[in-house]
Amino acid sequence: MTAVQSARLLIVGPQGSGKGTQGIRIADAFGVPAISTGDMFRAAVASGSDLGTQVTAIIQAGDLVPDELTSAVVADRLSQPDAASGFLLDGYPRNLGQVADLDAFLTGRGEELDAVIELVVPREESIERLTQRAAEQGRADDTEQVIANRLAIYERETAPILDVYRGRGIVDEIDGVGTLDEITDRVIAALERRGLMRSAAA
């Protein structure tokens, strides 16, 4: 397979899988920005743009940002110069509607995702990690039942997305149990097998 210099990636995993940490590490390794929905919303709000104003009003009302607006914020972020040669998305797309929006945006630029990294962590492991984190951070409302409910939502909403990407042959299932370095090495090895090249600066 011919090596390519760009890396357009999506990282997916249940709460407690460590995808935020791994996403930053992988993005650094391949020289692309790690972009999470939370970061995008905060940047949009801080920019004072029309999009940011809309997001602010929705968040202040305690509502979820609708797909159409979320996709517009993502498209705006991916249009920034630092994402021209690649990116790593974390938290988007999270449903089939957002998959279609991302496809349309990338197709319009003659691009497509290179790989979807799925961090596979047993449910019991996720619950244990999240319960421990809640205890360390003093978050009494993060009970085991609340955590289990969140994981159920992830399983229900994310499975169809992964099925779409599996059909395209771009999902790499990565064992998400181990040390940070072990997991990072597994992801990098899987991406390199796809012909994606690490950044020379990494």
Residues classed as catalytic = 19, 94, 133, 139, 150
**45-62 as b/e, with b when 16 or more CB fall inside 10 Å?**
beeeeebbebbeebeeee
- Asked if 117 and 9 touch (Cβ cutoff 8 Å), the reply is yes
Structure tokens at 31: 């020289």
Contacts of 103 (CB under 8 A, 6+ apart): 112
Compute and round to an integer the Cα radius of gyration of the chain: 17
One-character DSSP codes across 46-67:
HHT-HHHHHHHHHHHTTPPPPH
Q: Work out the angle at residue 201's Cα, subtended by the Cα atoms of residues 200 and 202, and round it to the nearest 5 degrees.
A: 95
One-character DSSP codes across 20-37:
HHHHHHHHHHHT--EEEH
Q: Residue 172 class from Cβ within 10 Å (0-12 exposed, 13-18 middle, 19+ buried)?
A: middle
